[in-house]
Structure 1
Amino acid sequence: MGTGRCYVFLFCLFVCHVTMVVFAQSPTPVTTCASKTNTSCGECLNNVTCLWCESTGACVDYPVRTILPPASLCPLPQARWGVCWVNFQALIITMSVVGGIILLAFCVCVYRCCCSCGPSKRDRREEERLERQADVRKMKHEERKAEMRSRHQEIRQKYGLTSDSGYTKFENN
C-alpha cells in the first residue's frame, strides 16, 4: 500500500472515530451559562460556550463576535475558558511565544534548505584542490611522455633507425 493511501486510510479512520464519538454521546440538557453564576469555575466550564470571570464569580456566555473578551465583561488576567488554571493573558503570551518559536524554526529551515542547495566553501575548496592535483598529475604524465619520446629517439639514433618515414623498416635495400 502506498504512503498516500496510508494517509488517506488513517484520515478516514480518524473521521469515522470522531463521528462515532460525537453521535455516541448522549445529548446533554442545554443549560445557560448565567445559571452557573456563583457556583464554581469547574461547573461553569463544563459547558464550552461559557466563560468564567474569577474576580466576579460570574459565568457568562463567551463573546464569539470578538476573539478576546472585552475588559468590560472580564479583565484578561481574571478570565478563564476551557480550564480553570489558565487565564487569557497567560494563554496569549504562551501562544505568542510558541508561535514565534515555530515561525523562527520554519524560517531557519527554509534558510538552511535554500543555502545548502549551492556548493559550500568547503566543497569548492575541495574541488579546487582536486583540480590542482589533476593538473599536477597531467603535467607529470606529459613530462614522462616527453622523456620516453626522447629516450626512444636516442635509441633509434644509437642503432641507426632514424628515418623520415615510418615504413622504411619494411623496405628491402
Structure 2
Amino acid sequence: MALRIWLPGIIGILFGLSLGAWGQPTTSPRIGCTATGNTNCEECLRNVSCLWCNANKRCIDYPVRKILPPRSLCPLSDARWGVCWVNFEALIIAMSVVGGVLILSLCICCYCCCRSRKSKQHDVTDQKLEREREQRRMRQEERKSEMKIRHDEIRKKYGLFKEPNSYSKFENN
C-alpha cells in the first residue's frame, strides 16, 4: 500500500506530472482503467493507477501487489507508466543509476567527513602529547638542578666539595 502512495508521487516529481494537494492526481475519482475505454497513452496515464501497454495498445490496472508488472501482462519494454515517452525498463534503469549515484556520493561524503574529523582529533592529540612531554622534560630538568644544588651543599658541609680546578701546580719550597 505504501508503494502505491509513494511511487506515483516520486515519478510525478521526476517527470513533472501535475499532482494536486496531498499528492493525489488532478483527475476525476478512481475508475477502473479497463472500464474507461482509454484508446491512447495520454488518456490512460492521467490516472496514476493505470498502466499503458504499447504492445497491444491497452490500458490496464497497475498490479499493485507486485512492484514490476509481470511479463504475461505486458513486457517491460512496452509498458508505460507515469509518462508515455519513457518505457518501464528505461525508467527502472534510470532510477537505479540515480539511486546508486546518490548512495555512492553519500558514502564518499561520510568517509571524507569522518576522515577529516579523525585527522583533526589526531592533530589535537599530538599537540597535547607534545605539550605534556615538554612539561615532563622541564620538571625533570628542575629536579636535576635541585638535586645538584642539594648535593653540592652536602659536599660543602662535609668538606668534600671539589674545586673547579683540582689539579694545581706543586710548589717546592
TM-score, length basis structure 2:
0.54
**C-alpha distance in 1, partners of 2:111/2:78?**
41
- How far has the Cα of 1:49 moved from its partner? 1.2
Alignment length (residue pairs):
128
Who is 1:109 aligned against?
109
SS of residue matched to 1:52: strand
Identify, as 1 or 2, the structure richer in helix. Answer: 1
Q: What is the correspondence of 1:51-70 to structure 2 with a 5 Å cutoff?
A: 51-70=51-70
Which segments of structure 1 move beyond 4 Å, counting only runs of 4 or more?
none
Who is 2:88 aligned against?
88
Who is 1:18 aligned against?
21
Letter in 1 for 2:86: V
**C-alpha distance in 1, partners of 2:99/2:111?**
18
What CA deviation, in whole Å up to 9, does each residue of 1:127-169 have, x standing for no partner? 7xxx8xxx9xxxxxxxxxxxxxxxxxxxxxxxxxxxxxxxxxx
What CA deviation, in whole Å up to 9, does each residue of 1:32-76 have, x standing for no partner? 311455611111111111110001001101100100100000000
What CA deviation, in whole Å up to 9, does each residue of 1:81-131 have, x standing for no partner? 1110111100110011001100001100110111111236xx69xx7xxx8
Q: What is the correspondence of 1:21-60 to structure 2 with a 5 Å cutoff?
A: 28=28, 30-37=30-37, 39-60=39-60
Is contact 2:34–2:61 with CA below 8 Å preserved after alignment? Answer: yes
Q: Larger RCO: Structure 1 or Structure 2 (Cα < 8 Å, ≥ 6 residues apart)? A: 2
Please list every run of 5 or more consecutive structure 1 residues that lacks an aligned counterpart in the other structure.
1-16, 136-173
Root mean square deviation, CA, Å: 4.3
Query: How many percent of aligned residue pairs carry the same amino acid?
Result: 55
TM-score, length basis structure 1:
0.54
